[in-house]
Structure 1
Amino acid sequence: MRVVLAQPRGFCAGVVRAVEIVERALQKYGPPVYVRHEIVHNRHVVEDLRARGAVFVKEVEEIPVGAVAVFSAHGVARKVEGEAALRQLDVLDATCPLVTKVHNEGRRYAAQGRAVVLVGHAGHPEVIGTMGQIDAPVHLVATAAEVEALPLPRDTPVSFITQTTLSVDDTRGVIAAIRARFDDVTGPDTRDICYATQNRQTAVRELARIAPVVLVVGAANSSNSNRLREIAAECGARAYLIADAAALDPAWVDGATAVGVTAGASAPERLVEDLVARLRSLGAASVEALPGIVEDVTFRLPASLAAE
């Protein structure tokens, strides 16, 4: 058995920035630093930061007045920003800049008087934040059938925006349905789907062509990790989403000539390394990495932390 690693995999620039914001805040201000929701969707990352003094809360009202607070990479609604201001919190915004770009687009479309359609998954923190950033009704759809059911006349001027972590292929289909349903449509096509999502999906397709078994390291509540597993399965591989090496069932790889390994954008590389070590203990004879895109994107930290 050989182990084949996808390239790229794991942390994206938005996750690196978000985690670094919490780490630097702890260094500058000392614990506790309060974080609204999981900073990113990965239990290992959250537990590591909690051990250093980060306190994770569900709502702003749980944070003491005047404390240091961090908003997660998924973004928040304007209502949450207002609540933080009322509590005089020292806020560090770890929203991914690509998510912020979607917020800005949605507000611009609404200001133009267009109906705003958001392609995304109901209940996802990014979707909740995006809908709460636009001071106009936002119509949420996830499928072409939901586009058909929108309570809008055909001649309604429509604009659309997208959740950043969706599949390029799935989103393209929903966008095509929007364009077919309405006469006047504007939007960014698939450009709102982040570079990291696209790169990791391309890499897992290549991985599934080579390896009959594909293991995706990531959290069960991670949208991009789930989609990586789905894509690998669609390409014909036996694909599994696992939180870490301990979750690996040896029966999954028994008899496999090659096992592919990738990781969602919020999964740290150390989890991949642990999984590779587990596969070696199960008889893996070699480990190789596929050629792929080398990402060099970086996002600036908030000014109050950048010089630290």
Structure 2
Amino acid sequence: MSKPPLTLYLAAPRGFCAGVDRAIKIVEMAIEKWGAPVYVRHEIVHNKFVVDDLRAKGAVFVEELDECPPDRPVIFSAHGVPKSVPQAAEARQMVYVDATCPLVSKVHIEAARHAEAGLQMIMIGHAGHPETIGTMGQLPEGEVLLVETVEDVAQVEVRDPSRLAFVTQTTLSVDDTADIVAALNARFPQIVGPHKEDICYATTNRQEAVKAMAPKCDAMLVVGAPNSSNSRRLVEVGARAGCGYAQLVQRATDIDWRALEGIGSMGITAGASAPEVLINEVIDAFKARFDVTVEPVVTAEENVEFKVPRVLREPA
């Protein structure tokens, strides 16, 4: 039987960003330098395939520092950690490596600078997300107020409306965040914003590619983990940009083929912590069922690279 034809639009950029690439490299180099086991506080990036691969190489993932023995190195995840975590590691005389994405570190520095100037911070982010916890944990309790929606802006109680600044989680929806920023500026006209957009280049680029691809597609899949903020935002952006069916899948085995019956065009992208091997697996699954024509949708070229910390570049 001949296979039905399918145009498969492939978003670019997609998948790994420079911060994720660096974080994975940090774990691999730490195992190489100090031997296994190396402990990692929280998932290094939000992707089960990546975490399982590193676990097989000798990484042990824990949620809290007190689960780590003091005589083994510990790595902090790409999402960033509260200030109290490295302080606790130093108190226990542990060797630690901070894999926080440099673009998240930039937000931490920004928050500290505003606090030194006597400004109370408002953070636009998702409650409970490790990046939000890490950024809010840079300052004493009560100094950073969290808002998740435009409605939250109307309710937030501040110390002094004329002495405020805001920062954002780096993996948010660009459009949603713009609405929240507008609400903050309307309610607090003197609020100080970041010098440069906090939402990272990779998040922005992947969302732009989805916006360009979505109107062409009958359906769209985002390869990524359910706890990955930037992956979930891509699903929302795709649906909002005109794609009737947009779903998140961790890998090819999660595809709901019944929901895709009768489609003629398909969009595929991936969150910033999803490896290319999983994207190729999804493409191969479509090739097994359809006569596929792949069409790239390229909206930006990325050549960003972040260096790993010096401690890993020095000999043991």
- TM-score bracket, normalised by the shorter chain, equals over 0.9
The answer to whether the aligner puts 1:39 opposite 2:44 as a matched pair is yes
How do 1:233-252 and structure 2 match up within 5 A?
A: 233-237=239-243, 238-252=245-259
- The CA deviation at 1:135 is 3.4
- The CA deviation at 1:157 is 1.3
Cα distance per residue 1:151-182 (max 9 Å; x no partner):
12674311000000001111111111111111
Task: State the distance in 2 between where 1:30 and 1:195 align.
Answer: 34
- Which residue number in structure 2 is paired with residue 103 of structure 1? 108
Q: Which amino acid aligns with 1:290?
A: V
CA contact (8 A) 1:3 1:284 kept: no
CA contact (8 A) 1:3 1:286 kept: yes
Q: Which amino acid aligns with 1:30?
A: G
Q: 1:241 to 1:190 in 2, by over 3 A?
A: farther
Task: State the distance in 1 between where 2:241 and 2:165 align.
Answer: 32
Task: State the distance in 2 between where 1:282 and 1:211 align.
Answer: 18
Task: State the distance in 1 between where 2:100 and 2:159 align.
Answer: 34
CA contact (8 A) 2:20 2:273 kept: yes
Task: State the distance in 2 between where 1:183 and 1:247 align.
Answer: 47
- Secondary structure at the residue paired with 1:290? strand
Q: Which amino acid aligns with 1:72?
A: S
- Secondary structure at the residue paired with 1:6? strand
Task: State the distance in 1 between where 2:195 and 2:180 align.
Answer: 10
Q: 1:190 to 1:177 in 2, by over 3 A?
A: farther
Cα distance per residue 1:22-51 (max 9 Å; x no partner):
011111111000000000000000000000
| 1:144 alignment partner, one of 134, 150, 154 | 150
- Which residue number in structure 1 is paired with residue 290 of structure 2? 283
Q: Which amino acid aligns with 1:252?
A: A
Task: State the distance in 1 between where 2:238 and 2:259 align.
Answer: 15
Q: Which amino acid aligns with 1:101?
A: K
- Secondary structure at the residue paired with 1:164? coil
- Which residue number in structure 1 is paired with residue 34 of structure 2? 29
Runs of 4+ in structure 1 over 2 Å off: 152-156
CA contact (8 A) 1:154 1:183 kept: no
Q: 1:223 to 1:189 in 2, by over 3 A?
A: farther
- Which residue number in structure 2 is paired with residue 172 of structure 1? 178
CA contact (8 A) 1:171 1:190 kept: no
TM-score by length of 1: 0.97
CA contact (8 A) 1:172 1:189 kept: no
| 1:58 alignment partner, one of 63, 71, 74 | 63
Task: State the distance in 1 between where 2:312 and 2:284 align.
Answer: 36
- Which residue number in structure 1 is paired with residue 306 of structure 2? 299
Cα distance per residue 1:212-255 (max 9 Å; x no partner):
11000000000000000011111221101000000011123221
CA contact (8 A) 2:123 2:145 kept: yes
- Secondary structure at the residue paired with 2:308? coil
| 1:254 alignment partner, one of 261, 272, 278 | 261
- Which residue number in structure 2 is paired with residue 70 of structure 1? 75
- Which residue number in structure 2 is paired with residue 273 of structure 1? 280
- The CA deviation at 1:285 is 2.3
% same residue: 49
Unaligned runs of 5+ in 2: 1-5
TM-score by length of 2: 0.94
Task: State the distance in 2 between where 1:189 and 1:259 align.
Answer: 38
How do 1:191-230 and structure 2 match up within 5 A?
A: 191-230=197-236
Cα distance per residue 1:268-294 (max 9 Å; x no partner):
000000000001111142222122311
Q: Which amino acid aligns with 2:201?
A: Y
